[in-house]
Amino acid sequence: MRRYIGVFVFFLFLSFLVYFLSGSSVTVFSIQLSVVITLLVYIIDLLEEDNKTHDK
């Protein structure tokens, strides 16, 4: 679970960086993007865990 928090924080930091460089409403989009990417990573990992349990 710790990995997802790291991924989320990384993209959140990236979005703030973009915000400071551009000074526009890109942050809202970046934060939404970071949430979506974090969810995707989480879902993919869940599917992989599912496959591991089925192999046994």
Angle at Cα 23 formed by Cα 19 and Cα 26, nearest 5°? 50
- Residue 27 has a pLDDT of 64
Nearest to 18 by CA among 34, 3, 39: 34
Cβ-proximal residues to 5 (8 Å cutoff; 6+ apart), any chain: none
Residue 56 has pLDDT above 60, yes or no: no
- Cβ contact 33:16 at 8 Å: no
- Residue 18 has a pLDDT of 73
Residue 23 has pLDDT above 70, yes or no: no
Q: Find the domain containing 51 and state its range.
A: 2-55
- In the chain, the percentage of residues whose pLDDT exceeds 70 is 79
Which has more pLDDT, 27 or 20? 20
Q: Which two tokens stand for residue 26?
A: 């890109």
pTM greater than 0.95 (yes/no): no
Region 27-32: mean pLDDT is: 71
Give the count of domains, the chain: 1
